[in-house]
Structure formats: structure tokens, C-alpha cells
Amino acid sequence: MTHAPAQVSYLDDGHTLRSWLLTTDHKRIAILYIVAITFFFFAGGFAAFLIRYNLSSPNGLIGSAETYNRLFSMHGILMVWFFLVPAVPVTLGNFLVPLMLGARDLAFPRLNLLSWYLFLAAGLVALYAIVIGGVDTGWTFYTPLTSFYSKGHVVAAVAAIFIAGFSSIATGLNFIVTIHKLRAPGMTWYKMPVFLWSLYATSVILVLATPVLAMTLLLLVFERIFGIGVFDPAIGGDPLLFQHLFWFYSHPAVYVMILPGFGVISEIIPAFSRKELFGYKFVVWASIAIAVIGFLVWGHHMFVAGTSLYSALVFSLLSYMVAVPSAIKVFNWIGTMHKGYIRFDAPMLYAIGFIGLFTTGGLTGLFLAALAADVHLTQTYFVVAHFHYVMVGGMVSAYFAGLHFWWPKITGRLYPEMWGRAGAIIIFVGFNLTFFPQFLLGYLGMPRRYFAYPPHFEALNLLSSSGALILAVGYILPLGYLAWSLFYGERAPANPWGATGLEWTTPSPPPTENFPVTPIVTQAPYQYRQAVAVER
Amino acid sequence: MSGYFPSATAEGREIDFLILALTLVSCAVLALVFALIFLYMVRYRAESDAYRGAPGRKTWRFEISWTAATLTVFFVLFIWGGDLYVRLFQPPADALQIYVVGKQWMWKVEHQGGQREINALHIPINRSIQLVMTSEDVIHDFSVPAFRIKHDVLPGRYESLWFQVETPGTFELFCTQLCGVGHYSMTGVVVALTQPEFETWLSGAAPSGERDDMAAAGKALFTAHGCSGCHGENGVGGSPATTGVSAPALAGLFGRLVKLQTGATVTADEKFLRDCILTPDKTRIAGYPQIMPSFSGQISEEDVLRLIAHIKSLRSGSRT
């Protein structure tokens, strides 16, 4: 074995457990993260499945309300902090940021590894909290229920989220510094792919908002353990203060959960339309606008919570403002397809599904931003459906789109295309069947987080639960064929999609060093017209 | 349960109209998005020979058009929703007040006449009803989907909700803020009756002699808890000459402006009176020494409401 080190793929650069667990290679850390978040996705998904099982009968099928409350709390906590927030940044982001920039690695490779260990530690604490009994407070931890009344293991669950937050901050910081300092020669800001801009905006939110969550959770623990009155009015606290602080983090966190998805879609639509991204600068600045305005809309979670009427008016207006950049993006993606040469490989099917589901999620957000309509719809299944359309229909679709798109680059293998397309279609159908009925349930007044419900809600709940069965098949399917492709998939060429972007100029899978020679960037991104000219 | 459509309140029908408008806007946008995607998927599929021409350059005209269109539609929706919301949460002055206390996991209701009910609320139709709501423990939420309204019920605060029902009937009541294990069971009914039926119900629910009305019950508490010792019988106020200490007059106080030691001026509403009873340190009245003890933890939320009902009943005319 005497070949040059630059030719060794990162996957073959050491096969010991140690070479994986102590790696500082961003690509290997991305793989470690993929393994971890896949586990949490299916753990959270299993809880969701039991929730839908319970709700397929008005009296509840899993026996106890306490179990039910713990299930939906576990579902929320695992899905938000252990899947959605990290999903794209720590997997695709970790893998692609240096490759797209033309860099050797992230700015702080060891910090990157540390962030994975923090995430792992947080995940273990979360699992510990679940195994010893879990929490019954929902992922929102509203006080004073959480202060003293809940009998669940609030402190353990909160500790898990607290630790996971540091992992987020480390990743965000790493990305910001990397994008500022490690761009290849010629890679100016406006030559960066939109995926990098999206991750940059995401990282800014992670670094600025996560500490607020950490402080809030710390205050909550002080109150619960030491009885220091912060949130519970019985000991001198303010019950709404927690909601303000929590949503000051958690609303920007909603954009952490969707902005990277925008980035993925902005790469895939041009690649499969063989056309440059329509309105590049508008898409870029829409991401930045979302990150900034996203910090100023937290009050829209509290329109019936007892805040002032006039503050609600301001938050409503700002909520409409933050929806404008999202609308701009949708129109630009459609503009990209116009006069393209569109192919329908699995990543594109997921991306088109994303546009439909995200647009539905966004439009139903307008209902909730309209103050009077929110009064009726908030805290019902309408809200549940709305944020699942954005988070699951949107972000999970985007994650799957990206995973399929970059799968050949990451693994060096092609996934089976027909299975990929089937999976995308099954997920789209199953998703709509699961969550569309919930809009109707919400309008009819069915409250969230009910273990049992009046019988007149049964038909729609049954429909939703049957959709969940299809959705479960849709999510398990990729697990099967992607795993299969690792061993039996066709070897991938460097650029199977004929896509632009530096990551496609290096072999699949890339060598540990990423690029034998540092690339020099001369072109704007998404120059697909030339590629089309060559193909024809 | 009574019919869900149309909503039993005028405001509910207005909310439905807003939701209908939002639905139409959403459907129009979705139809546009899906139509364009399907059109392009067919017309510009890689295999098609449709004419593509040179790529367009001036994208900013499109950007500005759809941004402006989006902003305009959003602004209309904002004004519409905001205007209705402000009206939705400003009770008319003549509303009939009913008191609601939430606790894990039941709704306790008390009418001014002292009639009490659990997980049920009887109201007359065609009359503005204002609920004054508080919680004994965690945050709950009083939600009546048939009226299209809800509001959180907070411990340590009074929140209010008002509505005017036009059709008699029985409507579902839900708690819609997660309040613990029994959250799903914290439900009840709102029964809307015609005025004569309501009066019959009121007299049936409070057999004479068995229960005082809220103000009268409050009067007994006013003496029992020693309030009258400083504030005087009938809340006429105290001075070193009469009761031995300076204490503000309570008769006629409700609804008036009160000056605090901090220099602030506040309206003496239910929230203010509650704070004065439970956390007097935080509501020091200008011109009086702060010697009133806190009654926090010593009086139940329902008794606080009865004391307030008593204070509200004290006319300034009874001042000596």
C-alpha cells in the first residue's frame, strides 16, 4: 500500500473504533452525528406512533393519561433538540461546509468533535430521564406546572437540553468562523452557495439564542430545587416570564429548524432544473432577514396568555413581516424551475414535496398570526398541524432531500433510485393524510395534548392515525434501502448529478484532505447553463 | 351539544369570516404554487423540447412585484385580525360579571348571587358576560370553541374574557393549556339560557337562606379576617382617632384612581384589590403607612373574590 495519502478516502483512513471516536475529520464527525440523530429520530418517531395509536379511539388506548403525557413530552423533546435543531447543520452541514468552501476542515476540528460528545452526553441524559420515567410537561416546560406541580423528572430532562445547547453553540461558532476565515481563494460571499448562507444565518441564531434558553432552564431548576421564586406567583415569581424567555429562544429556534432546509432546497432545485437559482441575492438576504426578524416575534405564542393587547398587535405585525422572506424564497424556487430542464430523481421529488408542504405550513401560519383567528385556533390541533407541516413536511423532507442528494458524495455509493422515488411519494402522501385532518380537528376545537377526547372528533383522528401508518412505512423504507446501498450500491462517480459546487469536484467519497490542491473559485454558483450546453 | 355552525356569538361569526378569508387566500396561493410547479414539471421536463430561450436577466422586477403583493395582502390580514382581537378582549362596561377559578382539574364558577357550580357555567343569552378568572395552581385556559374564544387563566392574576351568546344551548368547555395529568378531563359545559330560564336556574341553584350572595359572604369574611378592624365597619376608612391606625377608605374605592407611594396612579380594579390583599408591600398607597399584613396563603382564591365583591358593593355614600 504505497499510494499517495491524498487518494485515501476519508472512509478508508483508519478502520478502528478509535479512528472514528477520536477523529477530528469533519466528514467522520458528520457520520457520527448521522448515526446519533437517526437513533433519536426513530425514538421520537416511535413515541409519535404510540401517540397516534392512543388517539385512534376517543377514550385513549394506552391506558393512562400519565403515560400519554410522558409520550408526547418525550416526542417533543427528542424531536426538537435531538433531531430537528441539529438535523441538517451537524450532518450535511458538518460534511459540506468545508467542502463547499474549498477548505481542509472546519476552523476548530477538535471543538467539532467536542460538540459531538456534548450531544452524545446530552442524549444519554435525555435517555436516562426517559428511562427513569420521563416528564409530563410537554417540550415547552411551562411554569408553574414545571416549577412544583409536575411529578416528572424535570431536572434530568432540562439538564439534557442544557447540555445539548452547548453542542449547538459550539457548532454555530465553528460554522461562523469557518465561513468567515476559510473560504477558498476567489470564494467571495456572493459566490457562496445558498446552503452556506443558510447555515451562516442558522449559526448566528444558535450562538445568540441558545444561551437565553440555558439561562431560562437554569432559573427553572433553581426554582424547582431550591424554591427560589422566579416563575411561580405563589413564591413571588411571574408566571408569564418563563414563556417570554422560553419563546425568545424557541421561536428563533424554529428558524434553526427550517433555514438549513431552505439551504438544501436551494441547492437541489437548480441542480435538477439545470438552471441557476432565480434571484440568488434575494434568497440569500431572505435568510438573513428571517434570522434577524425571527428574534422579534416570540410574543405570537402568547396572544391568549395574558400579555398586553397592544404588544400583541406589534407581534402580529412582525410575524407577518417574518413571513415575507419565506414567501420570497418559495417564489424564487418556482422561478428557478421555469424554463429549466427538470429531472425527477428522488432529491427533486423530496424538494418539490417540500415546497408544497412548507407553503401549506407557512400559509396556515398566517391564520395564527391574524390575532382574532389565533384566539380560536391556538392551542388546538390546528397549531399541531401547522408546525408539523413546517417542521416535518418542511424540514424532514429537506433533510431527506439533502441526504439523498449528497448520499453518493458521503458514502461513495448510489442509492437505488426507484426506491428513493417511492419513498418520497409515500412520505408525501402519508404526511398529508396524517396532518391535514388535524387542521380540521383544530378548527372544530379539539385541544392539544388531550389523552381522551369527545367522540365527535373520532373520525378525523382515525384518519390521521391511519396516515401515520403510511408515514411510518415512508420513514422506515429509506432506512432499509440506504443501509442496503452502503454494501451493495453502485460505486458513485465524483459528480453523479452533474451539479455545480466545489464538493462535486473532489472524488466520492472525498479524501481526508478534501482537495488535493486548494481550489480557486472563479465562477458564481449554479452555472448550469454551460453544463446544459455541454450535455446537448 | 348544541350546533357548532354558525357560531353562537356575533364575534364568533366574525372570526369565522376572517378564517374563511384566510382560507381563500391560502387556497389561491396554493393553487398558484401547485399549478406553476405542475406546469413546469410537464413543460420543462428534461426530455421536452419546449422553447427555453435565453435566461432572463432582470429578476428584480419579479422580486419586487411578489414582495409588494405579499406585503399588501399581509397588511390587510394584520389590520383585520388586530381590529377584531382588540374588540374581542375589551369587555363592555355593563357586562354581567361571573367569577371563575381554575384548579387541577376542575372549573369552579361563582355567580354574584353566590350560586356556585363546578365544570359548568350557566349564562343568560343576549347579555354581555364577563368572566373574571384566576387559578389556584398552574396555568389553565378557558376555551369555548363554539364561541371561538379562549384565554389563559393564570395563578396570581385576574384575566378576563367576555362574550355575548345569541342562541340558547349547551356548549363544550375545554381547558386548553397543559395543566398536568388530568388536563384532558378538565372539561365542562357552558349552558346558555333565556333570561327567564336563567333566573329560574339562579333561584334554584341558591336556595334562600342556605347561601349568601358573594358580597354578603365577603362582608362576613371582611369581619372574620379583621379587615374591618383597620378599614372600619363598611370600609369607611380608619384614622388614629377611630380605629387606632390610618387605613384607606374602601367604600366607593372600586373603579377610582389611586395614587401609590411610587408616584404611579392606578385604577382600583379587581386585579389591584387582589394585589392589595395578597401583596400589600407592592401596592403601598400614598399617604398611608404600610402596616397591612399580607394575606397570601391565608385566604382562598374564592374568598378573595368574595372580599372583592364586598368591597365593590360598598357605596361611597356609606362613608361617615
- Mean pLDDT for chain B? 89
Residue B236 is predicted with a pLDDT of: 84
Determine, for residues A445 and B145 on separate chains, whether the beta-carbon distance falls below 8 Å.
yes
B237 plus B152 within the same structural domain? no
Residue B179 lies in a domain: yes
Residue B95 · residue B129 · CB < 8 Å: yes
Residue B51 lies in a domain: no
d(CA B223, CA B214): 14
d(CA A530, CA A499): 11
B240 plus B187 within the same structural domain? no
d(CA B60, CA B104): 57
Residue B134 is predicted with a pLDDT of: 95
Q: Which CATH number does the domain housing residue B277 bear?
A: 1.10.760.10
Residue B233 pLDDT greater than 70, yes or no: yes
Which residues partner with B188 through β-bridges? B173
Could you read off the pLDDT of B85-95 as tens digits, one per residue? 999 999 899 99
Q: How many CA atoms lie within 13 A of A429 on its CB side?
A: 11
Partner residue opposite B138 with nearest CB, options A149, A309, A356:
A149
Residue A85 lies in a domain: yes
d(CA B67, CA A39): 41
Residue A4 lies in a domain: no
Determine, for residues B138 and A343 on separate chains, whether the beta-carbon distance falls below 8 Å.
no
B34 plus B145 within the same structural domain? yes
Choosing from B188, B211, B234, the residue where a domain stops is B211
Cβ atoms < 10 Å from Cβ of B56: 12
Residue B307 pLDDT greater than 60, yes or no: yes
B2 plus B145 within the same structural domain? yes
Residue B76 lies in a domain: no
Task: Give chain A positions within 8 Å (CB) of B80.
Answer: 370, 372
B138 plus B250 within the same structural domain? no
Residue B316 is predicted with a pLDDT of: 66
Task: Give chain B positions within 8 Å (CB) of A372.
Answer: 14-15, 18, 80-82, 84-85, 88
Residue B13 lies in a domain: yes
How many domains, in total, are found in chain A?
A: 1
B223 plus B191 within the same structural domain? no
Residue B183 · residue A450 · CB < 8 Å: yes
Residue A451 lies in a domain: yes
Strand B140-144 with B149-153, pairing: antiparallel
Residue B258 lies in a domain: yes
Task: Give chain B positions within 8 Å (CB) of A231.
Answer: none
Q: Which of A229, A239, A305, A306 is nearest to B136 (CA)?
A: A239
How many domains, in total, are found in chain B?
A: 2
3-state secondary structure of A91: helix
pLDDT under 50: residue ranges of chain A? 1-6
Grid cell, residue A410, equals 458521503
Choosing from B211, B238, B273, the residue where a domain stops is B211
Determine, for residues B41 and A344 on separate chains, whether the beta-carbon distance falls below 8 Å.
yes
First-to-last alpha carbon distance for chain B, in angstroms, is 53
Domain that holds residue A253: 24-535
What would the DSSP string read from start to end of A26-84? HHHHHHHHHHHHHHHHHHHHHHHHHHHHHTTSTT-SSS-HHHHHHHHHHHHHHHIIIII
Determine, for residues B25 and A454 on separate chains, whether the beta-carbon distance falls below 8 Å.
no
Q: Which of B11, B172, B174, B169 is nearest to B88 (CA)?
A: B11
Centroid of chain to Cα B278 = 21
Which residues partner with B170 through β-bridges? B191
B203 plus B244 within the same structural domain? no
As a whole number, mean pLDDT of residues B174-198 equals 95
Task: Give chain B positions within 8 Å (CB) of A142.
Answer: 138-139, 177-178
- The model's pTM is 0.91
Residue A499 · residue A441 · CB < 8 Å: no
Residue A112 · residue A163 · CB < 8 Å: no
DSSP state of A483: H
For Cα atoms A67, A72, A76, give the angle at the middle one, nearest 5 degrees: 145
Residue B163 lies in a domain: yes
Residue B71 lies in a domain: no
Q: Is the dihedral of CA A173, A174, A179, A185 positive or negative?
A: positive
B173 plus B265 within the same structural domain? no
Task: Give chain B positions within 8 Å (CB) of A317.
Answer: 78, 82
Residue A16 lies in a domain: no
Choosing from B190, B211, B232, the residue where a domain stops is B211
Q: Which CATH number does the domain housing residue A136 bear?
A: 1.20.210.10
B32 plus B142 within the same structural domain? yes
Q: What is the chain A residue with the closest CA to B4?
A: A444
Strand B120-124 with B187-193, pairing: parallel
Cβ atoms < 10 Å from Cβ of A163: 20
Q: How many CA atoms lie within 13 A of A367 on its CB side?
A: 29
Residue A500 lies in a domain: yes
A310-324, A342-356, B198-212, B258-272: lowest mean pLDDT where?
Answer: B198-212
Grid cell, residue A389, equals 407541516
Residue A531 is predicted with a pLDDT of: 66
d(CA A384, CA A389): 9
Amino acid at A464: S
Instruction: Specify the higher pLDDT residue, B47 or B319.
Output: B47
B166 plus B219 within the same structural domain? no
d(CA A400, CA A289): 26
pLDDT over 70 percentage in chain A: 98
Task: Give chain A positions within 8 Å (CB) of B184.
Answer: 65, 447, 449-453
Task: Give chain B positions within 8 Å (CB) of A378.
Answer: 150, 176
CA distance B125 to chain A (A): 21
B238 plus B311 within the same structural domain? yes
Tell me the C-alpha to C-alpha distance, in Å, between residue A220 and each of A169, A209, A302: 21, 17, 19
pLDDT band per the 50, 70, 90 thresholds, residue B205: confident
* 3-class DSSP string for B164-184: CECCCEEEEEEECCCCCHHHH
Q: What is the chain B residue with the closest CA to A280?
A: B59
Residue B80 lies in a domain: no
Residue A154 lies in a domain: yes
CA distance A66 to chain B (A): 5
As a whole number, mean pLDDT of residues B220-248 equals 84
Partner residue opposite B63 with nearest CB, options A279, A355, A367:
A279
Partner residue opposite B180 with nearest CB, options A150, A323, A366:
A150
Determine, for residues B45 and A331 on separate chains, whether the beta-carbon distance falls below 8 Å.
no
d(CA B178, CA A449): 7
Domain that holds residue B218: 214-318
Determine, for residues B77 and A274 on separate chains, whether the beta-carbon distance falls below 8 Å.
no
Partner residue opposite A306 with nearest CB, options B1, B19, B157:
B157
Residue A315 lies in a domain: yes
Give me the residue label for grid cell 374568598: B303
d(CA B263, CA B143): 38
B6 plus B117 within the same structural domain? yes
What would the DSSP string read from start to end of A232-279? -GGGT--HHHHHHHHHHHHHHHHHHTTHHHHHHHHHHHHHHHTSPPTT
Q: In which element (H, E) is residue B116 found? A: strand B116-118
Q: Which CATH number does the domain housing residue B185 bear?
A: 2.60.40.420
Residue B83 pLDDT greater than 50, yes or no: yes
Determine, for residues B178 and A142 on separate chains, whether the beta-carbon distance falls below 8 Å.
yes
